[in-house]
Amino acid sequence: MATGENFIIGARSAGIAHSSVAIMDVWAVQNNPACMVDINKITAGLYYENRFLVKELSLKSFVVAVPANFGVIGASFNYFGFNLFNESKMGLAYARKFGERFSAGLQLDYLSTRIGENYGNKSLVTFDIGVCSKINDKLTIAAHIFNPVNARISKAYDERVPAIVKIGTAYFISDDLLISFEADKNIDNPPVIKTGIEYLLMKKVYLRTGISTNPFVNFFGVGFNYKKFTVDFSSSIHQVLGFSSQLSLIYKFK
């Protein structure tokens, strides 16, 4: 029984090839909690991904971040699959700044897998940690480790949830242009390199694109800000499996 995919969420993230470990937005609640420290209003987000246009492979996510005097608290929930096979992940995160340029975050994760037709369920608890450093107003460097304890799923076969290490940067070439880069290493798989570009086309309208390796995937996206709402849409093209689409909505409360 397999369980424990570390979902990377947010259509903004998908638009830049999921190279989001150093991106400071509400999706950082899950993608790297250390990067949610700049959130200064209660913010909630909904995310939907339709992988390869197969509804049974859809991912639904919800996040919320609440700033406090002692840091930022975040919560996330993800549901992937359908009634005969599904995985869910619940997380409770906390992040705080240490000085003006450095922050750290921790998230407790509850992972669950359910297989229908009486095959049973499996759940476990693990955690992830992250760090984020704003070198200056243009450059951010961050790192994140999911499941560093390599939590065990099954004693009988010594099956474990893989640990995943990510390190990356986000660099503003100008006020209108962001370039992101990330390297991921799942202990069971070859490394994955991701890079993306976000361009402010006009006031409150963003264009995005990116690529990732192992396997090679192209990503494209757009984003719109309207008052307290942010709407992002993206798509990706896998050379073998085809097209996927992603949609997310963010709301900032007063």
pLDDT digits (tens, 9 = 90+) for 104-157: 999 999 999 888 776 678 889 999 999 999 999 999 999 999 999 988 776 666
* Distance, CA of 61 to CA of 56 (rounded, Å): 15
Q: What's the confidence (pLDDT) of residue 207?
A: 97
Whether residue 252 contacts residue 43, with contact meaning beta carbons closer than 8 Å, is answered with yes
Q: What's the confidence (pLDDT) of residue 224?
A: 96
Report which of 117, 132, 67 is spatially closest to residue 94, judged by C-alpha positions. Answer: 67
Q: What's the confidence (pLDDT) of residue 133?
A: 96
* Distance, CA of 25 to CA of 18 (rounded, Å): 13
Q: What's the confidence (pLDDT) of residue 2?
A: 45
* Residue 18 predicted with pLDDT over 50: yes
Render pLDDT for 201-248 as a digit per residue (tens, 0 to 9).
Answer: 988 999 999 999 998 999 999 999 998 999 999 999 988 888 999 999
Q: What's the confidence (pLDDT) of residue 188?
A: 81
Question: Which superfamily, per CATH, for 11-252?
Answer: Outer membrane protein transport protein (OMPP1/FadL/TodX) (2.40.160.60)
Q: What is the mean pLDDT of residues 56-77?
A: 95
Whether the model clears a pTM of 0.85, i.e. scores above it, the answer is yes
Q: What's the confidence (pLDDT) of residue 158?
A: 66
* Residue 27 predicted with pLDDT over 80: yes
Report which of 246, 244, 243 is spatially closest to residue 232, judged by C-alpha positions. Answer: 246
* Residue 82 predicted with pLDDT over 50: yes
Q: What's the confidence (pLDDT) of residue 236?
A: 94
Q: What's the confidence (pLDDT) of residue 152?
A: 75
Q: What's the confidence (pLDDT) of residue 122?
A: 84
Mean residue pLDDT across the chain? 92
Residue 233 falls in which region: left (phi positive, over 0), alpha (psi -120 to 50) or beta = beta
Backbone φ and ψ for 51, nearest 5 degrees, come out as -80, 125
Q: Of 86-90, 167-171, 213-217, give the range with the top mean pLDDT.
A: 167-171
Query: Helices in 101-193 by DSSP H: which ranges?
Result: none
